[in-house]
């Protein structure tokens, strides 16, 4: 992990707000950021970057941040922010939803649409920012909704964020694991708030299991691929690719390997010796004979017909 500390006391008082504003704009995208209230502007930030994900502990003077439709059109980092307010009070508006967050409140917002953040008091918060592709699908319905982080599942989300922000910079593996846990807990919290399906069915591992089960049942469909799998499970194609990438796989590669294994099994079955090779291939979604021969040989070292002969009885082999 990369650790960064930021203190406005590192620069002259007259330059502190501009110094901090540049940092905030880099995190949130192009926006209008204004200080609220008189006196010097103070900010202290600890940021940890773990790949494409970051966690920030921030304590600063009042300010407002406005992202207009023009800002969104000009620059959209396509990121989401899970924020736990630890101290102070903050107002927020986005997508027709508005509210005031108070200590131990949680909220998730994003960069794809205009938003307004404002608060007239010193505030301290923990912010987890990540690519929108990592947002649990169920959380889409809860964007901009204030959630309690005081107890229950909300308390677990808040606790995970507090653990994350205290990690040492040398604990990359633990940080990555805790990020996954935090987002899984967020999914469970959103399901509880919405009263929808069992939270356990929405963790990345559970979604991946559902996708693979569906795919295995439809391997014979030549059109089976990322688009159809994502649509069948109401997730984005980008999120689907992310699920497989976390297993060091690609969607297309995994489907190909499953089809090849089923073809290998059928070709090795003496009871199916009279089924033509091309029919075996077509049964499992291979429509191009030359392509099937090539990928089968690459996977198993022999062309399909030669591989089958290894398992035929001598009288059948002749």
- 120-148 per-position pLDDT tens digit: 788 999 999 999 888 988 899 999 999 99
- 170-205 per-position pLDDT tens digit: 888 888 889 989 998 999 899 889 887 655 566 788
- Supply φ then ψ for residue 115, to 5 degrees: -155, 160
pLDDT value, residue 202: 63
DSSP symbol at 151 = S
- 23-60 per-position pLDDT tens digit: 888 888 889 999 887 788 899 999 999 988 999 999 99
pLDDT value, residue 40: 85
Fold of 204-317: Arc Repressor Mutant, subunit A (1.10.10)
Report the share of the chain in percent with pLDDT over 90: 56
Please check whether residue 58 is in contact with residue 43, taking contact to mean a CB–CB distance below 8 angstroms: yes
Copy the structure tokens of residue 280.
């075996």
Please check whether residue 43 is in contact with residue 60, taking contact to mean a CB–CB distance below 8 angstroms: yes
Domains in the chain: boundaries: 2-197, 204-317
Residue 317: is its pLDDT beyond 70? no
Lowest mean pLDDT among 26-35, 213-222, 272-281, 305-314: 305-314
Give the separation between CA 61 and CA 31, rounded to whole angstroms: 18
Q: Where are the alpha helices (DSSP H) in 58-166?
A: 69-74, 152-165
Give the separation between CA 301 and CA 316, rounded to whole angstroms: 22
Name 111's Cβ contacts closer than 8 Å, sequence gap at least 6: 28, 29, 67, 72, 76, 77, 78, 79, 80, 132
Residue 239: is its pLDDT beyond 90? no
Copy the structure tokens of residue 117.
């953040």
Cβ neighbours around 164 below 10 Å, total: 21
> Where is pLDDT greater, at 201 or 151?
151
Strand partners, 101: 90
pLDDT value, residue 148: 95
pLDDT value, residue 201: 60
pLDDT value, residue 197: 62
Comparing CA positions, the residue from 50, 82, 70, 310 lying closest to residue 187 is 82
Residue 313: is its pLDDT beyond 80? no
pLDDT value, residue 314: 58
Strand partners, 105: 148
| Top CATH class, 2-197 | mainly beta
The radius of gyration of the chain's CA atoms, rounded to the nearest angstrom, is 26
Please check whether residue 158 is in contact with residue 125, taking contact to mean a CB–CB distance below 8 angstroms: no
- 54-83 per-position pLDDT tens digit: 999 999 999 999 999 999 999 888 899 999
DSSP symbol at 56 = E
pLDDT value, residue 91: 92
Secondary structure of residue 179 in the 3-state scheme? helix
Q: Estimate to the nearest angstrom the gap between the alpha carbon of 19 and the chain centroid.
A: 31
Copy the structure tokens of residue 257.
């390997």
């Amino acid at each position: 992990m990369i650790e960064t500390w930021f203190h406005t006391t590192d620069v002259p008082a007259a330059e502190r707000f501009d110094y901090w504003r540049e940092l905030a704009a880099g995190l949130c995208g192009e926006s209008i950021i204004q200080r609220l209230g008189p006196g010097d502007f103070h900010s202290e930030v600890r940021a940890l970057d773990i790949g494409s994900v970051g966690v920030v502990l921030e304590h600063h003077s009042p300010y407002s941040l406005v992202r207009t439709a023009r800002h969104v059109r000009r620059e959209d980092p396509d990121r989401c922010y899970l924020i736990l307010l630890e101290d102070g009070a903050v107002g927020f508006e986005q997508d027709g939803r508005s509210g005031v967050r108070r200590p131990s409140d949680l909220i998730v917002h994003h960069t794809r649409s205009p938003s307004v953040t404002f608060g007239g008091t010193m505030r301290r918060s923990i912010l987890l920012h990540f690519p929108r592709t990592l947002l649990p699908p169920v959380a889409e319905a809860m964007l901009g909704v204030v959630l309690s982080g005081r107890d229950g599942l909300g308390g677990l989300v808040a606790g995970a964020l507090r653990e994350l922000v205290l990690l040492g910079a040398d604990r990359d593996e633990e940080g990555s694991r805790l990020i996954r846990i935090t987002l899984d807990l967020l999914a469970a919290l959103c399901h509880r708030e919405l009263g929808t399906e069992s939270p356990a069915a929405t963790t990345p591992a559970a979604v991946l299991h559902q996708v693979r089960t569906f795919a295995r049942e439809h391997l014979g469909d030549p059109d089976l691929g990322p688009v159809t799998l994502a649509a069948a499970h109401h997730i984005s194609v980008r999120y689907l690719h992310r699920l497989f990438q976390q297993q060091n796989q690609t969607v297309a590669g995994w489907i190909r390997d499953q089809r090849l294994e089923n073809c290998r099994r059928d070709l090795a079955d003496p009871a199916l010796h009279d089924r033509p090779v091309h029919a075996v291939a077509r049964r499992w979604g291979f429509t191009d004979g030359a392509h099937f021969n090539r990928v089968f040989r690459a996977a198993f070292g022999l062309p399909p017909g030669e591989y089958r002969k290894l398992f035929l009885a001598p009288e059948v082999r002749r």
